[in-house]
Structure 1
Amino acid sequence: MAARLAHITGSEHTALLGLGVYRPQRIVTNDEVAGPIDSSDEWIRTRSGIHTRRFATGSETVVTMSTEAARGALRSARIEAEQIDCVVLATSTWPLLTPAAAPQVATALGMGHPPAFDLSAGCAGFCHGLAVASDLIKGGTARHVLVIGVELLSATVNPADRATAFLFGDGAGAVVVGPASEPGIGPTVWGSDGTQHHAIRQDKNWVEFFAEFDERGAEAVRPWLAMEGTAVFRWAAHSLKQVCLDAIGAAGLRPGDLEAMIPHQANGRIIEIMARELDLSPSCALAGDIEEAGNTSAASIPLAMEALLRKGDAKPGADALLVAFGAGLSWAAQVVKLPNWQ
């Protein structure tokens, strides 16, 4: 531990140094998920903006997807695995209460023995992870931090639930956060409201499930992800404007200064409403990865960031607003300069 800390001093500024993602191989169309919920491709597109999503299969796990995304982030940042001082992994779908997934990812990457931990803040997890990483570096606890957002939501969603079955997908995204000579990650505006815990939730806890299993055996119904879609839509579409404005202002900018906006890819209509209420510049790129990836929760912002850069809609160094919200209810937003991604 002493050797790991010996070279570290705090940095006034931090930035995203590199970005990597992993998208599962299997592409799932709306037609495939529509049957069990008595729906259609048109209904799903109109309601959510989603055309396809990806589901992990076989060897594609939280750990393997995280590891591949992290390799891409390290490569684009030109940072060796041994230079990472901490791993922060945001997820809600690691199937074990303990141990955490992050140490296994660190080992898979050949990092040795850095501190590594999981972070649970629902769909806002990645932005929470950026806040933690930036502060670790500013405080001198770490010099380079790997932040991962990863989800395997296909394993947690009831395919017969009309409120959730069409929304969610799998994937992973990662960034390397490090010291910078000028601000690359603005102050984080974040919060939570536990009175809204029921809006996005696991519909029963595991203790309740095991008690049910003792009584009913194989007829016991496992916990599934549940969501009160209308309530979440109304809250997100109209309550996050001030969070966004506060984050933009904290970065010393105005909405018209933004070159890109990358909101959590929860719903296409929510994204459009948020962008419209902020009165962004016509030239501001708006991430829309939800069309191809669905809602990937903690992975959605890095995945959407990569899609924006890959398609040329935004360039490294551009000022981008990140904003996410999810189970808790939890939310977070910050302005960043977009990283290298190749």
Structure 2
Amino acid sequence: MTIQQSTDTAHAAMLGLGVHRPERLVTNDEICEVLDSSDEWIQTRSGIRTRRFAGEDETLIGMSVSAAERALAASGVAAGQIGCVIVATSTYPEHTPASAPQVAAALGITSAAFDISAGCAGFCHALNLASSMVRSGAESHVLVIGVEQLSRFMDPTDRGTAFIFADGAGAVVVGPSDAPGIGPTAWGSDGTQAHVITQSPSCLGGHSDRDHPVVQMEGTAVFRWAPFAMAKVAHEALDLAGVGVDELDAFIPHQANLRITQTLAKNIQIPDSVAIATDVVDSGNTSAASVPLAIEAMLRKGEATVGDTALLIAFGAGLSYAGQVVTLPPLGQ
């Protein structure tokens, strides 16, 4: 007896993109009503001017569904064609059940659905999984969602995180294409630096007066690591895709901090002709949602166009990282 296997599909691409940005716009001045800081200090340190926080009635699942519906519409793919739903998040408040099956149910999908947690690198990790599924023939179409509600897990008095993190959701439909639209992924981890971005206390509680965990980050350690280590990863992703840095149309890194983006772009030697995503200025750091949100912002503002070649790279808690060269997808309204 011979076990049958799926038939390979030659290429995969992002077929459609959708996002959800919460309505509540939060300025630095509002942050400083609680945080001992100033608008000038925050902009100097991070480049951030505003960010979005979810309203009390906005759930992580609802935000995911909103972004997914727009991605499906942009792709022209029906919900019934989705063979798997992958949600990348670190802020769904329940350990079990995962958020993805509930997102799938809200969309009328009964296919496989699961969450992954790779911090701010989650979207690029999920994109690699989806591309591999499609190219292997395991699934024809995969829905990838990066979503966070970091405002629910912040200490508003913490000068290391309170002005940085924000909320949002971005989704893409990955499916077969006539030409390669998602390059091989350069990814990895460095668990020796797990202490750099953490939650405290753990879910088991311990010695703390907090009623739930909050995100804590050693910002200086991240700044010393990301712009330099990720430059090597970026060149690995370019080499794997067979694309030169001067052939890029856009560079879209995780929107951690404007200073990190600028230093990383310099270390990669991104040419002046390549557009660089700076959505962190308006949206803050939305962790696993930041890359799709940044893609949307560039397409919406005309800084990039559908079909452009872009380098994605993301990095975060773990420490974990991933990057790939992609073709930018159509945008949902």
**Same structural fold, with TM-score higher than 0.5 when normalized by the shorter chain:** yes
* Deviation digits for residues 78-137 of structure 1 (CA, Å, limit 9, x no counterpart): 1110010000000000000000000001110112x1000000000000000000000111
Of residues 134, 138, 141, the one that matches 1:137 is 134
**Residue of structure 1 equivalent to 2:49:** 51
Q: Give aligned pairs, total.
A: 329
**Residue of structure 1 equivalent to 2:181:** 184
**Residue of structure 2 equivalent to 1:95:** 93
Instruction: Give the percent of matched residue pairs that are identical in Structure 1 and Structure 2.
Output: 56
Cα pair distance change 1:206/1:267, threshold 3 Å: same
Indicate if the aligned counterparts of 1:287 and 1:305 stay in contact, CA closer than 8 A.
Answer: yes
Q: What displacement does 1:37 show?
A: 2.3
**Residue of structure 2 equivalent to 1:3:** none
Separation (CA, whole Å) in 2 of partners of 1:92 and 1:35: 27
Separation (CA, whole Å) in 2 of partners of 1:10 and 1:171: 34
Indicate if the aligned counterparts of 1:93 and 1:152 stay in contact, CA closer than 8 A.
Answer: yes
Separation (CA, whole Å) in 2 of partners of 1:137 and 1:130: 11
* Deviation digits for residues 225-262 of structure 1 (CA, Å, limit 9, x no counterpart): 10000001110011111100010111111111110000
Q: Specify every segment of 5 or more residues in structure 1 that has no aligned partner in the other structure, as ranges.
A: 1-5, 214-218
Separation (CA, whole Å) in 1 of partners of 2:58 and 2:18: 16
CA RMSD of aligned residues (A): 1.4
- Superposition TM-score, scaled by structure 1 size: 0.94
Indicate if the aligned counterparts of 1:22 and 1:65 stay in contact, CA closer than 8 A.
Answer: yes
Of residues 325, 328, 331, the one that matches 1:335 is 325
**2:195 alignment partner, SS class:** coil
**Residue of structure 1 equivalent to 2:170:** 173
Farther-moved stretch of structure 1 (32-41 vs 128-137): 32-41
* Deviation digits for residues 188-229 of structure 1 (CA, Å, limit 9, x no counterpart): 00000111000000022121x2x558xxxxx55532110000
Q: Specify every segment of 5 or more residues in structure 2 that has no aligned partner in the other structure, as ranges.
A: none
**Residue of structure 2 equivalent to 1:82:** 80
Indicate if the aligned counterparts of 1:122 and 1:328 stay in contact, CA closer than 8 A.
Answer: yes
Indicate if the aligned counterparts of 1:149 and 1:172 stay in contact, CA closer than 8 A.
Answer: yes
Q: Tell me which amino acid in the other structure corresponds to 2:330.
A: N
**Residue of structure 2 equivalent to 1:154:** 151
Of residues 12, 21, 24, the one that matches 1:23 is 21
Separation (CA, whole Å) in 2 of partners of 1:261 and 1:61: 31
Give the alignment of 1:291-330 within 5 angstroms: 291-330=281-320
Separation (CA, whole Å) in 1 of partners of 2:34 and 2:300: 34
**Residue of structure 2 equivalent to 1:61:** 59
Q: Tell me which amino acid in the other structure corresponds to 1:291.
A: V
Q: Tell me which amino acid in the other structure corresponds to 1:23.
A: R
Of residues 233, 241, 246, the one that matches 1:243 is 233
Cα pair distance change 1:227/1:263, threshold 3 Å: same
Indicate if the aligned counterparts of 2:227 and 2:267 stay in contact, CA closer than 8 A.
Answer: no
Q: Is 2:230 the counterpart of 1:232? A: no
Q: Tell me which amino acid in the other structure corresponds to 1:22.
A: H
Of residues 288, 294, 304, the one that matches 2:278 is 288
Separation (CA, whole Å) in 2 of partners of 1:278 and 1:197: 25
Separation (CA, whole Å) in 2 of partners of 1:293 and 1:151: 12
Separation (CA, whole Å) in 2 of partners of 1:87 and 1:340: 19
Q: What displacement does 1:59 show?
A: 2.0
Q: Tell me which amino acid in the other structure corresponds to 1:89.
A: V
Q: Tell me which amino acid in the other structure corresponds to 1:185.
A: I
Of residues 107, 110, 121, the one that matches 1:109 is 107
Q: Tell me which amino acid in the other structure corresponds to 1:247.
A: A
**Residue of structure 1 equivalent to 2:263:** 273
Q: Tell me which amino acid in the other structure corresponds to 1:228.
A: E
Q: What displacement does 1:181 show?
A: 1.3
Q: What displacement does 1:50 show?
A: 0.3
- Superposition TM-score, scaled by structure 2 size: 0.96
* Deviation digits for residues 137-186 of structure 1 (CA, Å, limit 9, x no counterpart): 11111000000000000000100111000001000000000011111000
Separation (CA, whole Å) in 1 of partners of 2:283 and 2:201: 27
Separation (CA, whole Å) in 2 of partners of 1:125 and 1:222: 22
Indicate if the aligned counterparts of 1:9 and 1:143 stay in contact, CA closer than 8 A.
Answer: no
* Deviation digits for residues 288-326 of structure 1 (CA, Å, limit 9, x no counterpart): 100110000000000000000000011111100000000
